[in-house]
Amino acid sequence: MKQHFATLFFILLLVATATAEALPIPAPPSLNASSYILADADSNRIIAEKEANTPVEPASITKIMSGYLVFQSLAEGLISLQDKVLISARAGHTGGSKMFIETGSLVTVEDLIKGMIIQSGNDATIALAEHIAGTEEAFVDLMNAQAAELGMKHTHYMNATGLPDPNHYSTAHDILKLTRALIRNFPQEYRWYSQKEFTWSGIRQSNRNKLLWQDKRVDGVKTGHTDSAGYCLVASAVEKEMRLISVVLGAKSESARIRQSQALLNYGFRFFETRRLYKQGDKLADTKIWKGALEQLPMGVTEDIYVTYPKRQGDQLNARIDRPRLLEAPVKKGDPLGKLTISLDETILSEAPLVALEDVPEGGFFTRVKDSLMLFFE
C-alpha cells in the first residue's frame, strides 16, 4: 500500500460560532505546594501545572490505586461486595487512620470499600489487599504492575496505604493518569468517593475531602497526609458536562489544600470549556480506494474526540486530516490510514488516528485490471 498523504484543512463545523468577544486568559494560580496539576478528564488537556513530573510522597493518595485494583477485582468476578473478609491481626492493628475494624471479625467487602474511601482506613485497605492477593506484599506487586500498564512512569509503591517509605513515591501527573482511568473505567464504583460520611462500630467519620461540602460540583476524590508528605488532595468536579481533575501535593495545611484545589477548579471552569467534536465511529471523510470491492472508503475515529480550549474561541478551532493520496485494497476495518489533528492557532489540542470504518476486500479481476491501467496513467 502506498502511503502518500494529502492534507485537507477545514473549519470545524461542529463547534458553534462564537459571537461574543473572547475572554482574556490570565495566568493560572500559583500555589504554595510541592507540585500540582489541573486537567480536563475527557480531553486530557493540561490547564495548569507545577513540578508535575517530580516524584514526591503521595501519602493516602496511594489508596486511589488500591481502590482501582479492588474495583478491577469486582469487575472480573474475583470478589463480590457481599464477601465476608476475616480481619487479620496485621489489618486490625495497623497504625494511622482507621475504620476501627476488630481483629478476627468478619466484614463485607462493601463496608471495607467505604472504610477505605470515606474514612481512609489503613485497616480496611490492608484487609482488602489480603482478601484479593493473600498478602499486602503480593497486592503491592499488583499495584506496581497496574501502574506500569497505565503509563505511570514515575510511580513506585511499597505498601497499599501510603505509609512513608523512601521507595514509595508518585507524581502529580501519574496520579492524574490513575484518576482519569478510575473515573472512566469504574463509573459506578466512583460514586463512593462522593459519600460524605460513614459509620462503623458506632463511630461516625466524615470524608476528609471538605470540598464535597463546599462546592456542589465536586464528587471526589481522595485526601492524603503525613508529616513528610504534607497535605494532599485529588479533587474532581463537573460543570455543564465538563469534568476537571486537580491534584495538589505537599500543601502546608488542611485548609490550604482545600483553598488551592478550589482555586485550580475555579480557574479551569471560569476560563476554559470542553466540547466533544466527534463520536467514535463518526465518518469524517471518504477517500478513493483502488482495486477494491468499493470505490470510496469511509474513514473516521476509534474513540470520542474531546478538545479543551479558552472560552469563546470555539470558532477558531481548525481540523486537519492527513490521508492517503493513493490507497489500494485490501483494507480491514480499523486499519490506521491517516491522522486527525485539531488545533487552535499554532497549538495542537488533539491528535487521533484516522481509520477505515469498513472492510474493503479486493475487487474482481476486471476491477483490478481496470484500476491498474488507470493507475499507470495516474
Q: Which of the residues 50, 63, 114, 222 is marked catalytic? A: 63
Q: Which residues pair with 237 in a beta bridge?
A: 218, 244
CB atoms within 10 A of CB 7: 12
Instruction: In whole angstroms, give the CA distance from residue 335 to residue 337.
Output: 6
Instruction: Write phi, then psi, for 322 (nearest 5 degrees).
Output: -100, 120
Q: Which residues pair with 331 in a beta bridge?
A: 360
Q: Which of the residues 35, 120, 236, 350 is marked catalytic? A: 120
Q: Which of 26, 65, 7 is nearest to 272 (CA)?
A: 26
- Secondary structure of the chain in the HEC alphabet? CCCCEEEEEEECCCCCCCCCCCCCCCCCCCCCCCEEEEEECCCCCEEEEECCCCCECCHHHHHHHHHHHHHHHHHCCCCCCCCEEECCHHHHCCCCCCCCCCCCCEEEHHHHHHHHHCCCCHHHHHHHHHHHHCCHHHHHHHHHHHHHHCCCCCCECCCCCCCCCCCCEECHHHHHHHHHHHHHHCCCHHHHHHCCEEEECCEEEECCCCHHHHCCCEEEEEEEEECCCEEEEEEEEEECCEEEEEEEEEECCHHHHHHHHHHHHHHHHHHEEEEEEECCCCEEEEEECECECCCEEEEECCCCEEEEEECCCHHHEEEEEEEECCCECCECCCCEEEEEEEEECCEEEEEEEEEECCCECECCHHHHHHHHHHHHCC
Instruction: In whole angstroms, give the CA distance from residue 173 to residue 146.
Output: 16
Q: Which of the residues 34, 35, 43, 60 is marked catalytic? A: 60
Instruction: In whole angstroms, give the CA distance from residue 292 to residue 231.
Output: 62
Active site residue 120: yes
Q: Which residues are catalytic?
A: 60, 63, 120
